[in-house]
Structure 1
Amino acid sequence: MVDDSKTILATAQMAMEELENSGKVVMKTYLNPAELLEALENGREDYDMLISDINMPQLNGLDLSHSLKQNPRFKHKPILILTTESSAEMKAKGKAIGVTGWLVKPFSNDKLVKAVSMVLGL
């Protein structure tokens, strides 16, 4: 998961705690999307599903998603957007890039867990 807010990352980690404790997911967090992109491109990181904010100072989440969807290693991996952005235009941009789903902040723990479980088939 990548979000420039430590509070959002902590909240999401608490929401995902049961899935983590059961061994169904391992959650890694990044505050800087450019750092994550570099780690992914260099093979130091990998993911089964990415959760990304959009509005981040280092790299916009849609630009991050676009870069990943251009890479054959990540092209078919799901990306869930977790953002304050809720406009139809922004969602259309995400869909055109190939993002899998869209959750609007503030989010409920149940909605996040349900979305992750659904996307990963848990």
Structure 2
Amino acid sequence: MEGYLPWSALPGHPDKMGKSDDKQSKLFFDQCRQTRSADSEPEDARPLQVRTDGLMQDSDVSSIFLGLQHSFTAIDTKIDLLTDRFDHLKDKVDKHNEQITQQVTHEKLLQIEQC
């Protein structure tokens, strides 16, 4: 990628700590590191070990499936939260529409009585 600096070339990169006194850069990289570790795989999932024959061990496959299971559980939870939020908003809209209908009906009745 021409024109782009590698990650390690950025000021304050952990490889250059001590060479730069840029506290803002250090804070930025600390936050990136924390975010990366917070978004990483679950504790019980471990990195794959590459074998020389190119095959994965059963434990590696189990680790992959465990990671997928955690991901799908998180997605399912987010879908449930969005569904609950949608239902709540739909109830508010329905209630508002009912109030408007009652108000319009009341105004029409008043107009009829005045005639």
**TM tier, smaller:** under 0.3
Larger Rg: 2
User: RCO (CA 8 Å, sep 6+): is it higher in 1 or 2?
Assistant: 1
Higher helix share: 2
TM-score (normalizing by structure 2): 0.21
Higher strand share: 1
TM-score (normalizing by structure 1): 0.20
